């Protein structure tokens, strides 16, 4: 559908039609997001003990696939369809505990905690029953530190997806970071989801859009490193700011790193600061409307309000303002596509290449 040149020196960006055409938005839903890994939000706090269960939608208001996450009696996580294989009723409607199996409230069909069909009343005379179609469809479920993910049909392995992040932040006790509801909020951005990602994936705009952030980071030393299905931007402190205390065996040891900004294809950002983690989840709603959920996880509260992660709300509002202007500009009959800065926009080029690969 869209071909992006592999050599960034010759490549052009995705065209304006990508960000504005409803048919492209629909194709992206199926070919990109339905094949992606997505976080099961609140799983770490809701499904903690054996027999805990939580119904959820794969992507709210975008891919409304009813799913169920639960822990069985052996404390193993399972993710499966939350739709009864008899007549399609939603099985579990509210978070809670499931002790004796999953029971449909419509006709009493029962499933084991791993989704296997167990029993149903009034089945006399049925042939070829039960069969594989009577079991609930199981989905892969993976965990990175405290965070849980699933996919409807993954296009790439989970371990490859998180490998770069684990390599860079493995020294941090991320599983002990604590969710801070007061610092977490949702934003509505009047722009295509991919424009939000484009903006996130380059530090090129920092001196022009984020004056406060630019005062803390050494823009000349700002860099992007690419992995197979993710990339990271590394912010170097100008001096006097909070930085990571990297262990001697870390590949970045000796550098004054104020922030690691990880993007995991297609729509999840993990922003690590000396105080903890700011997690951004980008959810498409319409071709020109996006919901961005910020979730804060604090590790060292004494370092809050300092350095590159000091005023994230202001940075977000500055980003929203410029991205919404870009959305308007991409609709222009005079705009076709742009070009990549080889030094500053490696992350955007990487993103566009992956998009073109999955769209075929």
Q: Are 339 and 11 in contact (CB under 8 A)?
A: yes
Q: Do residue 179 and residue 328 come from a single domain? A: yes
Q: Do residue 203 and residue 343 come from a single domain? A: yes
How confident is the model at residue 310, as a pLDDT? 61
Q: Do residue 185 and residue 305 come from a single domain? A: yes
Q: Do residue 236 and residue 317 come from a single domain? A: yes
Backbone angles phi, psi at 40, to 5 degrees: -90, 95
Per-residue model confidence as pLDDT tens digits over 99-151: 889 999 999 999 999 999 999 999 999 999 999 999 999 999 999 999 999 99
**Domain membership flag for residue 17:** no
**Domain membership flag for residue 250:** yes
CA atoms within 13 A on the CB side of 6: 1
Number of domains in the chain: 2
Confidence (pTM) = 0.94
- The CA distance from 68 to 345, in Å, is 39
Per-residue model confidence as pLDDT tens digits over 145-170: 999 999 999 999 999 999 999 999 99
**Domain membership flag for residue 161:** no
How confident is the model at residue 214, as a pLDDT? 66
Range of the domain at 122: 38-143
Tokens of 38: 């997505």
Composition of the chain by helix, strand, coil, percent to 5: 25, 30, 45
């Amino acid at each position: 559908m869209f071909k992006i040149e592999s050599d960034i020196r010759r490549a052009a960006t995705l065209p304006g039609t990508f960000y504005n055409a409803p048919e492209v938005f629909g194709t992206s839903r199926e070919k990109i997001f339905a094949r992606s890994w997505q976080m099961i939000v609140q799983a770490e706090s809701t499904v903690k003990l054996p027999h805990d269960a939580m119904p959820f939608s794969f992507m709210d208001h975008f891919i409304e696939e009813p799913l169920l996450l639960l822990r069985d009696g052996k404390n193993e996580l399972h993710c499966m369809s939350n739709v009864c294989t008899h007549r399609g009723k939603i099985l579990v409607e509210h978070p809670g505990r499931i002790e004796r199996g999953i029971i449909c409230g419509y006709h009493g069909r029962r499933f084991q905690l791993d989704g296997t069909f167990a029993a149903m009343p009034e089945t006399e005379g049925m042939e070829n029953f039960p069969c594989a179609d009577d079991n609930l469809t199981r989905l892969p479920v993976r965990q990175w530190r405290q965070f849980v993910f699933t996919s409807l049909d993954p296009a790439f392995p989970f371990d490859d997806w998180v490998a770069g992040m684990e390599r860079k932040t493995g020294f941090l006790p991320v599983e002990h970071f604590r969710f801070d509801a007061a610092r977490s909020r949702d934003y509505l951005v009047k722009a295509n989801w991919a424009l939000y990602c484009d903006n996130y994936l380059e530090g090129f705009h920092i001196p022009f859009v984020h004056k406060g952030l630019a005062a803390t980071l050494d823009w000349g030393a700002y860099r992007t490193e690419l992995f197979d299905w993710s990339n990271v931007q590394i912010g170097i402190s100008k001096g006097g700011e909070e930085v990571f205390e990297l262990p001697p065996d870390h590949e970045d040891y000796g550098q004054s790193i104020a922030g690691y900004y990880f993007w995991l294809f297609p729509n999840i950002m993990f922003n690590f600061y000396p105080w903890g983690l700011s997690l951004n989840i980008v959810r498409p709603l319409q071709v020109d409307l996006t919901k961005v959920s910020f979730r804060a996880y604090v590790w060292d509260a004494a370092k809050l309000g300092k350095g590159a992660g000091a005023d994230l709300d202001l940075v977000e509002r500055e980003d929203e303002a410029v991205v919404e202007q870009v959305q308007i500009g991409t609709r222009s009959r005079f705009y076709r596509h742009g070009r990549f800065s080889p030094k500053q926009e490696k992350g955007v080029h990487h993103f566009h290449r992956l998009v073109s690969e999955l769209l075929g």
